[in-house]
Amino acid sequence: MELVDFVALWIAALFLCLWWRYWSVTGGGRKNLPPGPPGWPLVVRAHLHHADGPTNPNRGDQFGADPRGPGPERPALLVPARRFPDPSRVQCGKVCHQLGRVRATLAGPAPELRDGADQSGPDPAVRMDSEVGHGEPHLTRLLNEATEMGHVEVMRNCRLTICSVLICLCFGAKISEDRIKIIESVLKEVMLMTTPKLPDFLPVLLPLFGWKMKEAKELRRRQMECLVPLLRDRRAFVKSGGDPKTSSSEMVSPVGAAYIDSLFELKPPGRGELGEEELVTLCSETINAGTDTSATTVEWALLHLVTNQDMQEKLYEEIVACVGKNGTATEEDVEKMPFLGAVVKETFRRHPPSKFVLSHAATKETELGGYTVPADANVEFYTAWVTEDPSMWKDPGEFRPERFLTGDGVHVDVTGTREVKMAPFGVGRRICPAMTLGTLHVNLLLARMVHAFKWVPIPGAPPDPTEAFAFTVVMKNPLKAIILPRQRRRVEDYSLMEKQRETWIGGFPCQRLNYMPTSMVPSETPLYLVEFRYAESLLEIWVVEDFAAENVVYLELRTTPKRNDSIGMSKRSYMEAVVEGLRAVNTVEVDLGSPDLSMESPLNSSSISSLCDGTARKKICVRLLLSLDRRETTASAMETVKLALEMRHLGVAGIDLSGNPIVGEWATFLPALQFAREQGLFITLHCGEVPNPKEIQAMLDFLPGRIGHACCFGEEEWRKLKSYKIPVEICLTSNIRTETISSIDLHHFVDLYNAQHPMVLCTDDVGVFSTSLSGEYVLEGAKCFILHGTRLNLYFSDDVVKQELRQIFDSAARELDL
C-alpha cells in the first residue's frame, strides 16, 4: 500500500471515529440540543477560533448556544446570559462543577484542593507592612519613568505594583524590585501559556504541538526556580515560630498572616501535606489572577479618566475632600469615597476583566433554558451580555459612573446576590474568593494615582480603546499617558527626580533673566529629545509653585520654542506643553491673560489683605515671553514671532532675544523684532552680557521695552541708556556668581538706583544660582521693595493687572511701614 493511501485511510478512520463520538454524545439528534453553528463541527470550530477569537460579542447572537465545545469528546454549552433567566444560573450551580483547568502546572491540583486553598486565603483583612502598602514606591516609579520617557505605561507599572503586594500577601516577604520583576515576568509567561490555544478546541491536533510541551516544561522549571526559595524561606520562618534569623528573605508578616501559611497546614482528604509543586501552583494562580485582573481594571478606569478630564477632576476633588492634598488614601478612606466606588463599579460593568466565568461541567444530563445539556458537557457563561443589555442598562455602551449613584445601578450588587446585572467576579458558590481584596487593590491604587498626578493624554496619540484578549480583556495598545504632579512633593520623596532635574538644568551655564526653565537646554540633551512635553510641563508647575510660595503676584516666564523634526516636535507643540503645565497648577490660581475685569471693579482692600495673609487662595499673574535664540536664522526668528502672535490669548506678551552672546549677529534678528513691535508685542533684549560696543549701541537705538543685565557697558553706552530711559532688568545673584560683576558693592544697580533710572529686579534659576526672588530682595532690602512698587508701569501686562498690583503693593507697604 502506498504511503499516501495509508495516510488517507488513517485520516478517514479518524474522522469516522470522531463523528461517531459526536453522534453518540449528542444523542443522534433526538434530543433538544441548543442550536449551533451551521456546517461540519470540526471545521466550523476551527474557523470560529481562528476568525472570531474568544471575545467576539456577536458569536452568541449569531449562533446561540454551541454544544460542540472544545472537542467532540467533550461538548460545550455557551450560555448567553441575557437569553436565560436568573434561575438557570442557580440550576446550573446544582448540576455543574467548576473545572480544574490546567492553568499553572502540567497536571494541577484536584478541584477540591483548589477550592480548599481558595477558602483558606488570602485574607482581605491582612494589613501589609507600610513599606509595601503605602504606595510611594509605585508613585516614585511612575515619576521616574515619566522623567526618562516623557510618559508612563499604565499596565506595566500597575502589574508590577500589584504583583509585589500579592507576593507579600502570599509569602509574607518583602523582596527587591529586581526580583519582583523577574517573578512577574515569569508568571506572565505562565499566564499567557495557559490561555486557550487551537489544540484546546481541536485536541486531534495536539501531537503537532509537541514543541509547546517542551516550552511549558522549561517555563515550569523557571517558575519553580523563582518561587521555591520564597516558599522554603517562609516554611523555615513558620517552623521557627517567627524567628527572622531562619530566613534569608525579609519577613514582614507574622506567622499565620501569609496565604502560604494556611497551605502548609492544608491536608486534602486521602492525601498528605502539599508538595512544593502544588504550593507553587496555588500561589502562582493567586498572584497571576489578582495581578492581571486588578491591573486591567485600573488601566480601563484610567482610560476613561484620561479622556474625560471633568470626571478625573471630580474624582480628585472627592479624594482631596477626604484625605487632604498631602494625605495618603487608606483602606478606610476609600470606603468614604462614593464616586471612586462608582468609577470602579462602572469599570467592572463596562470592561469586565473576562467575558466568561471559569468553565463549568455538567455532572449529569439536565435541561437549561429549555435545552438539553449532555452529561460532562462544558458550560460557559458569557457574562458580558448582561452588561451590554439595553433592557437592563440605560445607554449600556456609555461609561457613566453616576449610574451607580442615582441611576439604574444604585441597587446593583456585584456579587449577584439580589439580581444578576453584572458579574465581574462570577456569581453563586463559585464566586471569586478574592473579590474583596481585588476591589480594595483597585480602589486604593486608583485613588493614590489620581491623588498624586493629573493624567492627560499624549498630544497626537489619543488612547485606543480597542480590546484584545491576553488571559484577561486588555487594551490592544497599552494605555500611555502624561502625568503632572498635583502638588510639589517632599524632596526626600522624589529625591531621584529632583537630582535629575538639578543635574539637567545645572549642567548648563545660564545668563538668562527671570526664570527660563528650558531655554538653557541645548537640543542634544537626551532627556529633552526623549520627551520634552512632560519635562516642560512639569517644570512650569514647579516654577509657578516656587514663586507663589514666596508670595509673588506677577511673573514673566521666558522660554525658547524649539523644533526637532526627528521626534515630531514643533515650536507650537513645545509651547502647548508649556501652557499645559501652567494650566495644571492647582495650588494657586494662574491668570494667563485676557482677564474679564474692568477698571471700575478693582480688588478691594479686604481681598488684597486676604491674598497677602494666606487666608484666600493665592493668585499669580503669569505672562510668557518667547525667546529668540541667537543661533537661529531670520526665518526661524520670524516663525517664533508669528507663533507668539497666534498665542497671545494664552498669555504670550512679548519677545525676548537671548542665548550665547558671542553667537549670531544683531542684523539677523532685527526684521523679526521690528515685525513683533509693529504687531504690538513687547520687546526685551539681553544686552551687554559681553563687551560689544557696536551691538550694544544698535540695541539701544532700537529702543526696546527693556534690556537685560547691561553688565559690560562703556561710558558712551551708559550715557545713551540713561538718556533713552530704557528700563533695565537686574539679576544681582547671577551677575555676581558668574563673576560678570565682582561684588554687590560694585554692581551698577547702585548707580542706576541713585540716578532713579527705571529698573526691574529679577532672578535666575534656583537650580543654577541657588537663589530666589526673596534672595534678591535680601541683598538690597527695603530699597528693592520700593523699587518694584514704583516701577509697575514697566511690566509687560495690561492696565487692569497693573492697577491690581499697585493696590497689593500699597497695602503691603502700609503693613511694613515703608
Residue 652 has pLDDT above 90, yes or no: yes
- Specify the pLDDT at position 30: 53
- Specify the pLDDT at position 779: 44
Q: DSSP assignment, residue 796?
A: S
Query: Pick from 632, 679, 676: which is nearest to 658 by CA?
Result: 632
Q: Counting every residue, how long is the chain?
A: 818
- Specify the pLDDT at position 491: 35
Q: Which amino acid is at 566?
A: S
Give the pLDDT confidence of 523-546 residue by residue, as tens digits: 333 333 233 444 455 556 667 777
- Specify the pLDDT at position 96: 54
Q: Between the CA of residue 419 and those of 87, 164, 298, what are the distances in Å? A: 11, 35, 25
- Specify the pLDDT at position 576: 86
Q: Between the CA of residue 686 and those of 108, 505, 710, 742, 744, what are the distances in Å? A: 74, 20, 8, 20, 20
Residue numbers in the known binding site for heme are 432
Higher-pLDDT residue of 122, 690: 690
Higher-pLDDT residue of 553, 20: 553
Rounded CA-CA distance 144/148 in Å is 6
- Specify the pLDDT at position 449: 92
- Specify the pLDDT at position 804: 79
The dihedral formed by the CA atoms of 485, 486, 492 and 494, expressed in degrees to the nearest 10: -10
CATH number assigned to the domain with residue range 487-816, chosen from the 4 options 3.20.20.140, 3.20.20.300, 3.10.20.30, 3.40.50.720: 3.20.20.140
Q: What is the mean pLDDT of residues 372-394?
A: 76
Q: Which CATH architecture has domain 111-483?
A: Orthogonal Bundle (1.10)
Query: 346, 689, 695, 780: which one is catalytic?
Result: 689
Higher-pLDDT residue of 342, 381: 342
Residue 815 has pLDDT above 60, yes or no: yes
Grid cell in block for residue 227 = 518561587
Q: What is the mean pLDDT of residues 773-786?
A: 49
Rounded CA-CA distance 760/739 in Å is 21
- Specify the pLDDT at position 39: 43
Grid cell in block for residue 786 = 520700593
Give the pLDDT confidence of 728-742 residue by residue, as tens digits: 887 765 555 555 555
Residue 256 has pLDDT above 80, yes or no: yes
Residue 494 has pLDDT above 50, yes or no: no
Give the pLDDT confidence of 434-475 residue by residue, as tens digits: 778 888 889 999 999 999 888 888 877 788 888 887 777 888
Instruction: Give residue for cell 488570602.
Output: 122
Q: Name the segment(s) of the chain with CATH classification 1.10.630.10.
A: 111-483
- Specify the pLDDT at position 808: 76
The percent of residues in the chain predicted with pLDDT above 90, rounded, is: 15
Three-state secondary structure call for residue 815: helix
Any catalytic annotation for residue 189? no
- Specify the pLDDT at position 682: 93
Query: Pick from 110, 126, 124: which is nearest to 266 by CA?
Result: 110
Residue 688 has pLDDT above 90, yes or no: no
Q: State phi, psi for 512 to the nearest 5 degrees.
A: -110, 155
Rounded CA-CA distance 642/681 in Å is 11
Query: Pick from 292, 411, 290: which is nearest to 345 by CA?
Result: 411
The percent of residues in the chain predicted with pLDDT above 70, rounded, is: 62
Give the pTM: 0.58
Q: Name the least confident of 381-395, 397-411, 681-695.
A: 381-395
- Packing angle of the helix pair 177-193, 154-171 (nearest 10 deg): 100
Q: Mean pLDDT highest for which of 153-157, 173-177, 604-608? A: 153-157
Residue 89 has pLDDT above 50, yes or no: no
Q: Between the CA of residue 223 and those of 186, 189, 227, 336, 507, what are the distances in Å? A: 6, 9, 6, 40, 45
Query: Pick from 750, 708, 713: which is nearest to 731 by CA?
Result: 708
H-only helix segments in 704-798: 715-724, 732-737, 748-754, 766-769, 773-780, 782-789
Using an 8 Å Cβ cutoff, are 638 and 672 in contact?
Answer: yes
Q: Mean pLDDT highest for which of 61-75, 394-408, 418-432? A: 394-408
Using an 8 Å Cβ cutoff, are 425 and 414 in contact?
Answer: yes
Query: Pick from 125, 89, 116: which is nearest to 262 by CA?
Result: 116
Q: Name the segment(s) of the chain with CATH classification 3.20.20.140.
A: 487-816
Give the pLDDT confidence of 423-445 residue by residue, as tens digits: 777 777 777 777 788 888 899 99
Q: What is the mean pLDDT of residues 581-610?
A: 56
Residue numbers in the known binding site are 432
Q: What is the mean pLDDT of residues 74-91?
A: 50
